[in-house]
Structure 1
Amino acid sequence: MDLQISGKKALVLGASRGLGAAIAKGLAAEGVKVFAAARNTDKIEPSDNITPIAVDLADPASVTRLIASLTEQEGVDILVNNSGGPKAGPALGQSRESWLAAFEAMATSIFTISGAMLEGMIARKWGRIITIGSSGVEQPIPNLALSNGVRAAVAGWSKTLAAEVARHGITVNMILPGRIDTDRVRELDGIKAEKTGASIEDVQSASRNDIPAGRYGRPEEFAAAAVFLASAQASYVTGSSIRVDGGMIRGL
């Protein structure tokens, strides 16, 4: 299938590893010119279709520099909002500073970048905004209070924005990953193992038992959903939250 996005430009945040890296490679394989953004770009391998670009989403000045750089190049057609997760921990006892830091890095930064990139998308009457969320938006994950809270706010923003820009040929969607085999998930498995006294193997086995597919997902499987949402064929899909979780979330 020709996704009809060859030659488009994309910005993928958090592209140095995990889901962001997989999405950047998936888009590049379709002929998209990808700006692969991360705080540390050393792990991003440049290619004909992938250009590393530095940004620290927790630093407003860094976000401003990123926007200025891309605005000089007339923005992008596809924006993949992907922020790292905050530290694990319960809701009880979280400080005001922790909540503000998490919101700045995971919400305010992507709201600001999206607003700036939308100017060009509206002018061109074509655009795709895809935000990577978490299954915690639909079923809060124990001991990830900051992530559950902030990502829920992002989900509300995404749904609201979708209705505002649909008439301009722009779609706005979220993708909610389940247990995808990334460094972040392995880190969380390690924290759970340390907290419970179980081995990492036992923690992972218990997680697999909760997934109807019986395994963790692969980053490239997740990326395929993002690449489709970026395509011309997905032009009537907007305001949606799509789960890629092997059936883990049992709710409707």
Structure 2
Amino acid sequence: MTEPRQVLVVGASRGLGRELATLFALDGWNVFATATRDIPLDADSTITWLACDLADENSWSAATAEFSAGIDHIVFCSAFDPRTVDLPLLEGLRRSLMVNGAGAYAFLLSLVESSGGTARVAVVNSEALYYPDRQSAAYAAGKAALKVFTAALSGLCLGRGGAVFELVLGPLDSDERRQRSAAAAAGSGRDVRDVVAQALVKANPESKIDRFIQPEDCLRLIQCGFDLGAIANGASFRLDGGSGGAFR
């Protein structure tokens, strides 16, 4: 009998990471998942959970030690947005650059080196890095750093059979967004699809899509990159309907 493939989902306590960890488990993968601090109370018992705070070297070093023999497939979904917490400006920026950038790089670097350069790594990034403003600058800076570090990691896999590739994603579906859209549609008497399309354009005037991106969409793209193997090394997959621009 063929052993199930293994995957580590980094940043799986909520959001897309949580959805992807669940989808991989349902597809028969042996799933390891990290949470910054506490393991979710309703965590899937078929998933092996690890604590991993990318802003704390002791924490992520302990997590990497669990995979000293290497891990074949990695999905990096961890993200920190300073706008979601009440922190002084510089502290928010520091944590963003650590979780989204330097800490992420050091953590993934250790895992790729442990694999001998054969690991296949999908790094989830955000189109937010293309259009920073005063409110989103700290978050976008962390994501821009992640893009640079992803390119550096791909160099470790050259000629070794592995691959590091990025996914630049547009607006993701979530319970909160669905509820907000449904409430707005009910209050205005409009179709919820029209409300979503208008909200996407309001959030990003360059938006070319009219629906939120589903976790299943992301999973298909990640699995494609995994299956391509070394050919996908250094690739950048955009899943935003062409909404993202270039660095200004």
TM-score (structure 2 length as normaliser): 0.77
Q: Name the CA shift for 1:14/1:61 in 2 (closer, same or farther; >3 Å).
A: same
Cα deviation for residue 29 of structure 1 reads 4.0
User: Partners in 2 of 1:66 and 1:109 — Cα distance?
Assistant: 13
**What letter is aligned with 2:208?**
P
**What letter is aligned with 1:118?**
V
User: Partners in 2 of 1:87 and 1:250 — Cα distance?
Assistant: 23
The correspondence for 1:59, drawn from 51, 56, 59, is 56
Cα deviation for residue 75 of structure 1 reads 2.5
Cα deviation for residue 141 of structure 1 reads 6.0
Q: Do residues 45 (structure 1) and 44 (structure 2) align?
A: yes
Q: Which position in structure 2 is the counterpart of 1:85?
A: 80
Q: Do residues 246 (structure 1) and 235 (structure 2) align?
A: no
Q: What root-mean-square deviation, in Å, do the aligned CA atoms of Structure 1 and Structure 2 show?
A: 3.1
- Give unpaired runs (5+ residues) of structure 1: 194-200
Contact kept, 8 Å, 1:132 with 1:175, in 2: the verdict is: yes
Deviations 1:24-65 (A, max 9, x none): 233334433210111232242121xx2122222232221121
Q: Name the CA shift for 1:136/1:208 in 2 (closer, same or farther; >3 Å).
A: closer
Cα deviation for residue 88 of structure 1 reads 2.4
User: Partners in 1 of 2:27 and 2:3 — Cα distance?
Assistant: 6
Q: Do residues 105 (structure 1) and 99 (structure 2) align?
A: yes
Q: Do residues 236 (structure 1) and 234 (structure 2) align?
A: no
User: Partners in 2 of 1:145 and 1:235 — Cα distance?
Assistant: 34
Q: Which position in structure 2 is the counterpart of 1:222?
A: 218
Q: Do residues 161 (structure 1) and 153 (structure 2) align?
A: yes
Alignment identity in percent? 25
TM-score (structure 1 length as normaliser): 0.76
Cα deviation for residue 128 of structure 1 reads 0.8
Q: Which position in structure 2 is the counterpart of 1:32?
A: 29
User: Partners in 1 of 2:199 and 2:3 — Cα distance?
Assistant: 38
Which SS does the other structure have where 1:70 is aligned?
coil
User: Partners in 1 of 2:124 and 2:76 — Cα distance?
Assistant: 6
Report how many residues are paired.
226
Cα deviation for residue 96 of structure 1 reads 3.2
The correspondence for 2:138, drawn from 111, 136, 146, is 146
User: Partners in 1 of 2:18 and 2:133 — Cα distance?
Assistant: 24
Contact kept, 8 Å, 1:213 with 1:246, in 2: the verdict is: yes
Contact kept, 8 Å, 1:23 with 1:224, in 2: the verdict is: no
Q: Which position in structure 2 is the counterpart of 1:7?
A: 4
Q: Which position in structure 2 is the counterpart of 1:130?
A: 122
